[in-house]
């Protein structure tokens, strides 16, 4: 009897996945990021560069070849909310601002500890998947303005594999005077960065470690992400980097030294966020990252020469590592707890009020007076938004 119920449960999950797959296949448009190749299409959206024959799908499961045409996700969201910009996390982009954040379904990696697996592993894992809502780029841009957001961000799943949809939204957002940003695993190609660069002001990359073998177990080579980081810095985009510190996976001190020395070699002003892991998805038996481990990793980053190192996911327990300090005189210029900006002492030009050293970042929207709407000490949390009639 137990076997029967297990078979029924599996059959129901498969049917649900098939229904979701049919729905997502309908919500597609012709892609831009591909090349024709010997009766197939070569997708250029992520570092896998999948060669996709007729009727087949790429690694991400959501980009596919239909009669010689690459079809890509378009016209829906699986998640949309107004988040604190600090949640992305961007600490050097409009502190205290709100960011309208949207995401779709799917990913080109398969991290066993993914903390967004419900959306990222859709069509790959029968237990994953979220309801989708049809929407237009114009509606999302209007919603951002209505909600007082200053930034529009593509996140939640892997945005590289839905780059055409993000670009359509970003085009509307930029016309509305909003900044646009990407939150990505960094497994990119030069072609997708060329495609996105005209729209983007900032790009956050998850650098998941510095061990190639471990990286390949997640779904891509380490070099692909390092190459992306190098290109982003060379292109002049504002870049921040996050490493989720997973005990036993990427917390070896020497690995952290190698990782942070690489970042410092690119640019010592790159903000590096080392964040605490909590058990999730297929790693529910692993232990959480302790505050002492998080702060030691932050110290390693500072020792490597990085000027802006932050420790996250443990609000109030990371010592000084939630704050931004002037690298010249060590004055605390932005004080934070979690996603909440408690004080911002930067001058209008983004300089330290004590020694007048200018700190790197995006401190105001071009053409708009500097505004810090959330500096009243209230605890800031994401808030869902209502889209119909946006």
Q: Write a three-state SS string for the chain.
A: CHHHHHHHHHHHHHHHHHHHHHHHHHCEEECCCEEEECCEEEECCCCCCCEEECCCECCCCCCEEECCEEEEECCEECEEEEEEHHHCCCCCECCCCEEEEEECCCCCCCCCCCCCHHHHCCCCCCCCCCCCEECCHHHHHHHHHHCCCCEEEECCCCHHHHHHHHHHHHHHHHHCCCEEEEEECCCCCHHHHHHHCCCCCEEEEECCCCCHHHHHHHCCCHHHHHHHHHHHHHHCCEEEEEEEECCCCCCCHHHHHHHHHHHHHHCCCCCEEEEECCCCCCCCCCCCCCHHHHHHHHHHHHHCCCCCEEEECCCCCCHHHHCEECCCCCCEEEEEECCEEEEECCCCCCECCCCCCECCCECCCCCCCCCCCCCCCCCCCCEECCCCCC
Q: How confident is the model at residue 387 (pLDDT cuts 50, 70, 90)?
A: confident
Compute the mean pLDDT over every residue in the chain, rounded to the nearest whole number. Answer: 91
Q: How confident is the model at residue 364 (pLDDT cuts 50, 70, 90)?
A: confident
Average pLDDT of the segment spanning 55-84? 96
pTM of the model: 0.91
pLDDT tens digits, residue range 166-189? Answer: 999 999 999 999 999 999 999 999
pLDDT tens digits, residue range 330-345? Answer: 999 999 999 999 999 9
Q: Is the pLDDT of residue 297 over 90?
A: yes
Q: Is the pLDDT of residue 34 over 60?
A: yes
Q: So what's the pLDDT on residue 129?
A: 84
Q: So what's the pLDDT on residue 383?
A: 74
Return the percentage of the chain with pLDDT > 90, whole number.
Answer: 83
Q: Is the pLDDT of residue 10 over 80?
A: no
């Amino acid at each position: 009897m137990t076997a029967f119920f297990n078979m029924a449960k599996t059959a129901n999950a498969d049917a649900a996945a098939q229904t979701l797959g049919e729905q997502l296949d309908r919500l597609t448009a012709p892609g831009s990021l591909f090349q024709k190749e010997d009766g197939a299409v070569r997708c250029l959206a992520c570092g896998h560069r999948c060669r996709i024959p007729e009727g087949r799908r790429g690694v991400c499961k959501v980009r596919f070849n239909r009669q010689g045409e690459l079809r890509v996700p378009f016209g829906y969201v699986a998640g949309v909310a107004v988040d604190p910009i600090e949640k992305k996390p961007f600490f050097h982009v409009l502190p205290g601002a709100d960011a309208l954040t949207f995401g779709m379904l799917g990913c080109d990696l398969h991290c066993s500890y993914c903390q967004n697996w419900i959306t990222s592993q859709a069509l790959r894992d029968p237990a994953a998947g979220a309801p989708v809502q049809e929407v237009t780029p114009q509606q999302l841009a209007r919603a951002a303005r209505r909600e007082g957001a200053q930034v529009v961000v593509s996140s939640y799943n892997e945005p590289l594999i839905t780059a055409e949809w993000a670009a359509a939204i970003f085009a509307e957002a930029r016309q509305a005077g909003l900044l646009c940003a990407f939150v990505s695993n960094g497994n990119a190609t030069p072609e997708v960065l060329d495609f996105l660069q005209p729209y983007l002001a900032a790009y956050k990359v998850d650098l998941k470690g510095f061990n190639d073998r471990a990286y390949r177990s997640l779904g891509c080579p380490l070099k692909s992400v390092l190459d992306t980081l190098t290109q982003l810095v060379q292109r002049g985009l504002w870049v921040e980097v996050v490493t989720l510190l997973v005990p036993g996976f990427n917390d070896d001190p020497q690995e952290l030294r190698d990782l942070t020395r690489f970042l410092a070699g690119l640019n010592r002003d790159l903000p590096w966020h080392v964040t605490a892991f909590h058990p999730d998805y297929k790693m529910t038996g692993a232990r959480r990252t302790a505050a002492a481990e998080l702060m030691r990793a932050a110290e390693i980053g500072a020792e490597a020469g990085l000027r802006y190192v932050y420790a996250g996911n443990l609000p109030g327990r990371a010592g000084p590592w939630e704050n931004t300090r002037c690298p010249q005189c060590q004055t605390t210029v932005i004080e934070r707890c979690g996603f909440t900006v408690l004080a911002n002492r930067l001058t209008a030009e983004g300089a330290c009020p004590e020694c007048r050293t200018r700190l790197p970042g995006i401190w105001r929207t071009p053409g708009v007076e500097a505004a810090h709407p959330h500096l009243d000490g209230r605890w800031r949390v994401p808030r869902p938004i209502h889209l119909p009639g946006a």
